Amino acid sequence: MSQERPITEKAVVEIHGLNKTFELPGPWPWSEKRSVDAVIDVSTTVREGEVLALVGQSGSGKTTVSRIVLGLDTPSSGEIKLDGLPWSSMSESERLPHRIRFQYVPQDPMAALDPQQTALEHVVETLRVLGERDRDQAQDEARAMLERLGLGQRFHALPRQMSGGEQRRVTLARVLALTPRLVVADEPTSGLEPDRRESVLSDLIGNLPPTAACILVTHDLAAARRWAHRALVMLEGRVVEELNLPTDTPTHPYARQLFDPWNA
């Protein structure tokens, strides 16, 4: 459980006044474009060792926030700092030498995996290209990480030969082998059975480097309570409540309904 992870006061992620507006086309070619505010004035800090959950229903803005944090989308206004770097105002060429420290776990593992590469080849390639390991070191580290994630007997399996949980563990292995400072996991248990979800989150949180921060994007409130230190509850682009987990009781009606629909 993440509550067992010690948290320091050092900030890994700083989000200040984040806003994101999308311009969408109208229903007809001659229609005017319309503006949609996907993220509205979001601010928070994620510290070393901390797991922060972004929770809310689809369309609440949580995935947009997570993508902006990593520089995969650009903010309309506001500021992101990663390890003190002015991330949101840096060019991609300036970010590139630092990207290895800030990693992303995608929602769809099959879209992220090469259908022609085995589990071992995926991790070895990541370590050689991004981690700049030599072949032997990459092989040793990749095998060790896959074994830690319960894939010691699946080194040579292709993605189509793996279960959904195994596919996700390969995506986790690629990220965790790089000993990142920040992991952003976007619905990493989507589509899995409840027991499989718990196992994947245990592998993710349990194998984070001790001083790494994690942003967990999820609509699974039970998972947030169990695995995160804090939760930001998002509705229509805004943070409507911040909760210290697992003890805080939601007070906002939307948050209450998410966390305990029977007693909302």
The pLDDT-based confidence of 78 (bands split at 50, 70, 90) is very high
Per the prediction, the chain carries an average pLDDT of: 92
Q: Are strands 11-24 and 77-82 parallel, antiparallel or unpaired?
A: antiparallel
Give residue 220's pLDDT. 81
Mean pLDDT value across residues 154-178: 95
pTM of the model: 0.91
CA distance 237 to 14: 18
Residue 135: Cβ within 10 Å count: 10
CA distance 158 to 166: 10
The pLDDT-based confidence of 237 (bands split at 50, 70, 90) is very high
Contact, 31 vs 39, CB < 8 A? no
Tokens 């070191």 correspond to what residue?
137
Helix (H, G, I), strand (E, B) or coil at 58: coil
| Class at the top of the CATH hierarchy for domain 2-110+180-259 | alpha beta
Taking every pair of Cα atoms in the chain, the longest distance, rounded to a whole number of angstroms, is 59
Helix (H, G, I), strand (E, B) or coil at 118: coil
Q: How much of the chain, in percent, has pLDDT values that exceed 70?
A: 97
For the chain, state the CA radius of gyration: 19
CA distance 113 to 118: 9
Residue type, 214: C
Mean pLDDT value across residues 31-45: 91
Cis peptide before 246 (omega within 30 of 0): yes
Contact, 212 vs 49, CB < 8 A? yes
Nearest to 214 by CA among 181, 168, 175: 181
Q: How far out from the chain centre does Cα 60 lie?
A: 16
Contact, 201 vs 217, CB < 8 A? no
Residue type, 177: A
pLDDT tens digits for range 102-119? 999 988 888 899 999 999
CA distance 76 to 39: 9
